[in-house]
Amino acid sequence: MIAADLAENIPTVLRETLASEAARVIAEYRLPGLIVADDAGVPIAVVPGSQLLAVILPQYVREDPALAHVFGERDADELCAKLNDTTIGALLDAQKLVAKELPSVLPDDTVLEVAAVMVAEHMPLIVVRGEDGTYHGAVMLSRALAAIAARAGQDSELMRRRLERDLLPPPPPSATGPAGAGSP
């Protein structure tokens, strides 16, 4: 199995997407991270999902995690609502989200090459691009591990389904970016 086989079409977000909407997309599709696309729907950056979690935490809680204990439910509601006040672009500009410049592999790269890039970049989500820059989709950690587990002799209905069915249907041939690109 090569990278092109592992690549699937996954939802992307735009710079203008609200942070709360981006969180919803991650939750709905169980994504390990966000692919940020430009206005034409072409992916420009990848952000690990955990960074979006950090956005709701004030810096002082990140410096002293013990302070998270002192917040009640009402305080938590207030902090979570902050995701409605900002966009992915604003968070990237303020460096509250630190995007990785598209960690990518070539379509004919092997599973080992996919694993090597994921490990080196500490990214559970990488894109597959041709040498001419053509976007072929993204490889998620779960699918890469499904392929690896299959090679190790593991087998199950769920695992086979994960390898055979893409998260989203493939984009129409005329589209420049992946189906579902842009604000979901």
Partner 1 sequence: MSVTAYLAIGVFAVTYVLIATERIHRVAAALGGAAAMVLIGAARGHTVFFSQDTGVDWNVIFLLLGMMIIVGVLRQTGVFEFLAIWAAQRSGARPFRMMVLLCLITAGASALLDNVTTVLLIAPVTLLVADRLGLNPVPFLLAEAMASNIGGTATLIGDPPNIIIASRAGLSFNDFLVNLGPIVVLLLVVFLALAWVLWGRHLRVDPARAEALMSLRGADAITDRRLLGRLVVILVLVLAGFVTHSLHHIEPSLVALLGAGAAVLVSRLDHAVYLDDVEWETLVFFAGLFVMVGALVEEGVIGQLASSVTAAVDGRHLLATQGVLVGSAALSGLVDNIPYVATMSPLVQDLVGHSTTMTPQRGALWWALALGADLGGNATAVGASANVVILGIARRNGSPISFWSFTKYGLVVTAVTVAVCVPYLWLRYFVLG
Residues at the interface with partner 1 (CB under 8 A): 58-61, 63-64, 66-67, 69-72, 74-75
Output the smallest distance, CB 100 to partner 1, in A.
22
The half-sphere exposure of 158 on its side-chain side, counting CA atoms within 13 A, is 3
Nearer to partner 1, 24 or 96 (CB): 96
State the DSSP code for 161: H
Nearer to partner 1, 29 or 71 (CB): 71
Burial of 8 (0-12, 13-18, 19+ CB in 10 A): buried
Nearer to partner 1, 66 or 120 (CB): 66
Output the smallest distance, CB 66 to partner 1, in A.
5
Burial of 156 (0-12, 13-18, 19+ CB in 10 A): exposed
Output the smallest distance, CB 13 to partner 1, in A.
25
